[in-house]
Structures are given as structure tokens and as C-alpha cells.
Homo-oligomer: A and B are copies of this chain.
Amino acid sequence: MSWQAIGIFDSGVGGLTVLREIIRKLPQEDTVYFGDTARVPYGTKSPETVTRYAVEIAGFLLKRDIKLLVVACNTASAVALSALKRQLSIPVVGVIEPGARRAVEVTRSGRIGVIGTAGTIRSSAYTRAIKRLEPRAEVLTQACPLFVPLAEEGWTDNLVARLTAQSYLKDLKEAAVDTLVLGCTHYPLLKPLISEVMGPGVTLVDSAEETARTVAKILGDKKLLRPEAEKGNHHYYVSDIPAGFIRVGNRFLGGRLGDVYQVSLDDENGDSR
């Protein structure tokens, strides 16, 4: 058993959908969330830069005494996971591998769709992860750049969102995928709409849910879970003014955020900039 917290980070607010699933699955655990709101988005930045940011943030969270690190950001999971695993002595869980594994488990036809930001789709990270597990799988991908701003605006079931989803998902629907991976932490907010547009024959794989399941399994296997009777505390840190994070965050978390603190990683590391 370990009383330490679970650390989790994202480039911004999206990772709160992953945190929500972790809290739902493991309500007894303390969590420490870091949203790198000063440097969001990661998707347009080079792998070297994203890896440097991820290592910095891991350092910050380790000082807060965590027993496991969740990389709740698709870009950082795609480019920085191996560097983090190499450097850290605690388990590190990304969001891509759990979603890919689940997709391979549930598909019957072997035709799997993946949607995500332009950066995630361009990286082919899900395609590679799925093919590693099931080389015969056919993976069709689609970037959906407007889904993130729609989710942040709270437009998740109006006509604009519906028409946007119909436009983005048209090709995947016609290609008759039977499984669709929501490869972006923002997309769980659009899940009912995406499910409706894709129709009842298509299983949606929510990377947030699968990541939480993986976290529970690792902590269970390693006997690091807190007693089930406990109720965890949740702390939030961001790298820029918290106002925007708080405004959007409650919707992403599906409940009230606690206090959100702004920290400068530069100061943290003794860097004067």
C-alpha cells in the first residue's frame, strides 16, 4: 500500500477528462494535476521541445511525492513517453497505448477508426500502436481540428457541433469502421454526439476510460492502492493565470475543481527567466 498521490499532466485542460475517470475508478486516491497552460498547445511544437517540457513537469510532480505518472496528453504520450520511462523510477502511463489496446480487443471486423488533433493524426502514434498489437488491423484516421474549440466553448450538442461531426466523420462512416478511438482528451465531451453520428454499430473507445483502467491495474498489481474506504484529495497546478482553466475545467472534470495554483516551472528549477 502507498499513501502517495497519482501525478497527472496535460498541456492544458483536456487531461481533466482523464483525471475524471481516474477519480471515478479510484476515489480513494489523492491526485496532483498539472496543466501547462502557459505553453499550450503542444501539438505544434517539436518533439525535442515537448520532451523537455514533459521532463520538467515530471520533475515538479515528483517533488510532490507521486507513486505513478499519467501523461494525459496525446502529443506528449506520442513523443516523450520513452524518455520519461527511462528517467523515472515510478510507473509512467500514457493515453495512446491503453486506447490502442482496447480498440484491438473490441473490434470484430479489424477496421478501426482513429480521430484526434491534426498533430496526433500526423504523428501516426495510434496507428503504430494498434499495428504493433494487431498487424492485420486496418486503421483509418481523421483529424478533427474544430472538436477542441467546440468542446472548450461548450458547444457539444448544438447544430454547429452536429454538422461539424457529420462532416469530419463522413469518410470513417462510409469506410464502415466498427470501432472508433477518441484520440484526444477533449473528445469525451462530444461522445454522445459522436456516438449518435457514427450509429449503434460502432463501438467508441474512450482513451480516458482506458487509461484510468490501466492506472488501476498497475497500482493494484503493485499493491500501491490506498484502502477503499479513503476519500482522496485533488490538487491542481497550472503554468499561467488560472482563470481560463477554471472556467472551462469544471465542465471537463464533470464537477467542481478545487483550488488551482499557478506555478512557474522556471522558478521551480531555479531558472530566472
Residues of chain A having any CB pair with chain B under 8 Å: 37-40, 44-46, 49, 118, 145-146, 148-150, 152-153, 155, 159-160, 163-164, 167, 240-241, 244, 271, 273
Contact = CB atoms under 8 A, between A and B. Distances in A.
Given A240-B44, A240-B46, A241-B44, A155 B146 contact: yes
Contact of A44 (B37, B46, B163): B37
Contacts of A164: 160
A256 to B, nearest CB: 22
Contacts of A38: 44-45, 49
Given A38-B45, A44-B240, A160 B149 contact: no
A163 B159 contact: yes
A150 B163 CA distance: 13
28 contacts: A37-B44, A38-B44, A38-B45, A39-B39, A44-B240, A44-B241, A44-B244, A45-B240, A45-B241, A46-B240, A49-B240, A118-B244, A145-B152, A145-B153, A146-B146, A146-B149, A146-B150, A146-B153, A146-B155, A146-B160, A149-B149, A159-B163, A160-B160, A160-B164, A160-B167, A163-B163, A271-B273, A273-B273
Contacts of A46: 240-241
A152 B148 CA distance: 13
Nearest to A145: B153
**A-B residue pairs, 7 tightest by C-beta:** A149-B149, A160-B163, A160-B164, A146-B149, A145-B153, A44-B244, A160-B160
Contacts of A145: 149, 152-153
A145 B148 CA distance: 11
